[in-house]
Amino acid sequence: MVLESIVKLDKKSTKPFDLFYVGLLFATVGVLLSLWTFKTNPSIILVFFTTMIGIPLIYKLLRSEEVNELNYKSEGDILRFHEKAVLMYFFLFLGITLAFFMWYYILPDNLSSQMFTVQNQTIHDLNKNTFNGKMVQIFGGFNLNTGNFLKQNYDTFLKIVSNNIRVLIFSLIFSLIFGVGALFILVWNGSVLAAAFSSFFNKYYMIYMVKDYSTIAATFMSFYQSTLRYLIHGLPELFSYLLAGFAGGILSAAIVNGDYKTEKFDKILYDFIVLVVIAIAILLISGLLEVYVTPNFFK
């Protein structure tokens, strides 16, 4: 594979942030290929192409972590042991998401809307089912500091958490069955996040332009506001998906390579369980932040 030979992953010498540029490259190639081959309906194809491009790279990373884990003698901090690999996942996702966001604005309006048709519909359906018509009230900041705020939004919290748990389970299942299958979930979420981010960016941009901000100032403020809206709860939510997919990928690599027959497989299984439990805990915290904290920054 040409891109695989260009982008060589060496965990010892490669810095996690290098994967940010790799994500930009992979997503850009995925977008261009999907426009070239499936111009009439590229929404899902761009996710598949970007995923396919990243499979060899992620497989090497997971295999390397699985081998290192077998030879790891300490039972100390699991997250610290996998820190660099998880950060590589994280920056790869950021690069992919930013590339999708950039192409959303580089392409003409008709092409960009066509490129993210399924993603936009997903966002619409999710908001409709989760918030039941109350999204404006929750995220618009209408008098959220009331005595009944916690009680009124408890159902919303449960719906958000249940949806996020479902995505986490998908990440686990995909990574266990396909090894690097969680990469598909991450790329898909990156495309959805880019579409949602673009929607908020447009709204803020229009607001600042009406207030007679300069184009540069309006762009900067819109990007800042849109980022902050997702940063508070989005980062822990993303991290939980990364942990789940990463844990499933390591376990899958161990099974495929026959390491389940060794005595050290118990260590991998133990780490898998711990990482999944941590991912679920982080996801619950993310849900609390999304419902009870984020809205207060956007009154």
- Between 65 and 234, the more confident residue is 234
The pLDDT value given to residue 186: 83
Q: Give me the chain's average pLDDT, please.
A: 77
Dihedral of alpha carbons 231, 234, 238, 239, sign: positive
The pLDDT value given to residue 281: 94
Q: Calculate mean pLDDT across residues 25-34.
A: 91
Q: Calculate mean pLDDT across residues 187-209.
A: 86
Using the predicted structure, report yes or no on whether residue 117 has a pLDDT greater than 80: yes
User: At residue 57, what is the residue type?
Assistant: L
Q: Calculate mean pLDDT across residues 129-134.
A: 50
Q: Calculate mean pLDDT across residues 240-265.
A: 78
The pLDDT value given to residue 130: 55
pTM: 0.78
Using the predicted structure, report yes or no on whether residue 236 has a pLDDT greater than 90: no
- Between 126 and 86, the more confident residue is 86
DSSP state of 76: S
From residue 293, alpha-carbon distances to 153, 156, 167, 259 in Å are 12, 13, 22, 44
Query: pLDDT-derived band of residue 146, with 50, 70 and 90 as boundaries?
Result: very low
C-alpha to C-alpha distance for 276 and 223, rounded to whole angstroms: 33
The pLDDT value given to residue 76: 52
The pLDDT value given to residue 106: 83
Of 57-66, 114-123, 142-151, the range with the highest mean pLDDT is 114-123
Q: Is 173 exposed, middle or buried (0-12, 13-18, 19+ CB in 10 A)?
A: middle
Boundaries of domain holding 98: 2-297
The pLDDT value given to residue 147: 46
C-alpha to C-alpha distance for 246 and 242, rounded to whole angstroms: 6
If one counts the domains in the chain, the total is 1
Q: What are phi and psi of 148, to 5 degrees?
A: -95, 10
Using the predicted structure, report yes or no on whether residue 139 has a pLDDT greater than 50: no
Whether 99 contacts 27, CB under 8 Å: yes
